[in-house]
Amino acid sequence: MIPGETDLWFLPLGGTGEIGMNMNLYGHDGEWLMVDCGVTFEKARYDAETGKRIKRPDVQMADPAFIAEQADRLCGLVITHAHEDHVGAVPYLWPRLKCPVYTTKFTAMVLRRKLAEFNLTDEVPIHIIDPDATNNESLAIGPFNLKWVPLTHSIPEPYALYITTVVGSVFHTADWKLDPRPVIGKPYRPEHYQAVGEIGVTAMVCDSTNATELGHSRSEGALFTGLADHVFAAQGRVVIACFGSNVARLQTIARVAEATGRYFGVIGRSMQNMSDCAKACHVVDDTFRPIDARHLGFLPRHEVLGVATGSQGEPRAALRRLATGRHPAMELEEGDTVIFSSKVIPGNEPDFELLIELLTSMKVHVITDASSEKPIHASGHPASKELAQMYDWIKPQHAIPVHGEHRHMLANANIAKKSGVPRQTVGKNGDLYFIAPYPGIRRNAVATGRLGWQHQQLVSMTEFDDNSSKGQRNDYGRTV
């Protein structure tokens, strides 16, 4: 299956029909371009009989077999932004791809730290793209021409890609929202998207995460007041839990620390990495002065503002360890406050509820987005009005929803239809979408699968899934 010179194809191997582990391929004129190479994290599964957690590899990613077998046809890998579901699998899979990597400065720094852990720093050729410095001239990668189009999201340097070929073009949005006050980076500017729409777009491949949400996503800039009010009102130590990669939230929390006279410290390795990269790339302001987390434990309680990973209740993350008195940096006690600046991802409820129980049994005051009257969390993805607005600016001929479960992608396709996009195609990983010369889809064109990282090697997840579906008892517990 090789794309010809009149073809423009889209082939997702991961991230379409699910949220996480994005891996997209574009095919044209005998070559393939990969966009993003991310991981997904295993949601907790419990044995129905014993109630014990079933052990499976935590880190999983799309199986790249289809492209790895023809890696000589892969002209490059573009990483849109530094979230784990877009960049996280590069250290695991690059040895099978061996292609040049293109990304912006901040994402490159995050990636290099990951590669260093795998002794791959000197192996992987990373080309740093600076759309501002080059006046955003287009870059040729194989038979594709790429332009980076700035958007807003919860992390520095989020970009959509405008991919053109002689036979058709794609606006690949990656993750985005329309945020007038994104805290990190510049507000969105309609003229960027209007300009792309005027040149013309054959297909728009678009984020569907929040397509079922009505209205407009909350601005990141709206969270400062709510968080600061809760921290002002708190008597003892305060720990705010959020996603480790949400750099915009870390910046907001740094400002809250400054406004409330507390010292801010980052607890959790993934968050520490993000915080270091954000400082080194100067994407945060001078309120961003985290102290060493190990010093938090020595401060008077009212001066402590910790930010911790583990908002989903993950057993090994910082917050769970704080909730069980097993974290070396500091301890929590009666009268302290934990604020969840996050939402629970479906499937994580059991771990999350256990965490809340542990905290409340310590008489720690718990504030969640649901219990707070003031806004303390914002999603980084577009709701229905933002999607409609983007379709109106880009005016694609063909809408291809991705980055969502089937229901999210259907909702996205409906919005596209109502916005006047002539054609919408909803598919899943392994389906081959035709963009040019004619729109269409060939279902199940390519075999897909998942790999898991276990005992320092990649293993096929089919083995785990087969064992559970057959209901056999194995090392990993019975099927749930």
Contacting residues toward Zn ion, per CB under 5 A: 83, 85, 175
Q: 240 with 339: CB under 8 angstroms?
A: yes
Q: 258 with 287: CB under 8 angstroms?
A: yes
Q: Which residue lies nearer to Zn ion by CB, 212 or 324?
A: 212
Shortest spacing between CB 86 and Zn ion, in angstroms:
6
Q: Which helix (H) or strand (E) holds 267?
A: strand 263-267
Shortest spacing between CB 20 and Zn ion, in angstroms:
7
Distances from the Cα of 304 to the Cα of 68, 92, 329, angstroms: 49, 37, 12
Distances from the Cα of 191 to the Cα of 149, 166, 399, angstroms: 11, 24, 21
Shortest spacing between CB 153 and Zn ion, in angstroms:
5
Q: Which residue lies nearer to Zn ion by CB, 31 or 175?
A: 175
Question: Residue 306: which residues within 8 A CB-CB, separation 6 or more?
Answer: 237, 238, 239, 240, 264, 265, 266, 267, 293, 296, 322, 329, 330
Q: Which residue lies nearer to Zn ion by CB, 83 or 262?
A: 83
Q: Which residue lies nearer to Zn ion by CB, 79 or 413?
A: 79
Tally of residues, the chain: 480
Q: For residue 26, which amino acid is it?
A: Y
Q: What letter would DSSP give residue 72?
A: G
Q: 157 with 107: CB under 8 angstroms?
A: yes
Shortest spacing between CB 263 and Zn ion, in angstroms:
29
Q: Which residue lies nearer to Zn ion by CB, 7 or 85?
A: 85
- Angle (CA) 37-40-43 rounded to 5° is 175
Shortest spacing between CB 327 and Zn ion, in angstroms:
27
Shortest spacing between CB 218 and Zn ion, in angstroms:
16
Q: Which residue lies nearer to Zn ion by CB, 83 or 147?
A: 83
Q: Which residue lies nearer to Zn ion by CB, 83 or 327?
A: 83
Distances from the Cα of 364 to the Cα of 232, 235, 263, 357, 367, angstroms: 16, 11, 20, 10, 10
Token code pair at residue 165:
């070929």
Whether the CA torsion 373, 378, 384, 389 is positive or negative: it is: positive
Shortest spacing between CB 467 and Zn ion, in angstroms:
29
CB-based burial of residue 326 (10 Å sphere; 0-12 exposed, 13-18 middle, 19+ buried)? exposed
Distance CA 86, CA 15 (A): 9
Distance CA 204, CA 169 (A): 9
Shortest spacing between CB 205 and Zn ion, in angstroms:
13
Shortest spacing between CB 171 and Zn ion, in angstroms:
17
Q: Which residue lies nearer to Zn ion by CB, 158 or 310?
A: 158
HSE (CB half, 13 Å, CA atoms) of 242?
Answer: 28
Phi and psi, residue 141, nearest 5°: -125, 110
Shortest spacing between CB 245 and Zn ion, in angstroms:
8
N- to C-terminal Cα distance for the chain?
38
The residue ranges of DSSP E strands in 81-236, in sequence order, are: 101-104, 126-129, 139-141, 144-150, 159-164, 169-172, 203-207
Q: For residue 309, which amino acid is it?
A: T
Q: Which residue lies nearer to Zn ion by CB, 175 or 179?
A: 175
Q: Which residue lies nearer to Zn ion by CB, 175 or 314?
A: 175
Shortest spacing between CB 6 and Zn ion, in angstroms:
32
- Angle (CA) 86-81-106 rounded to 5° is 130
Q: Which residue lies nearer to Zn ion by CB, 39 or 322?
A: 39
Shortest spacing between CB 35 and Zn ion, in angstroms:
12
Q: Which residue lies nearer to Zn ion by CB, 83 or 255?
A: 83
Nearest to 138 by CA among 157, 163, 158, 160: 163
H helix count then E strand count, the chain: 13, 24
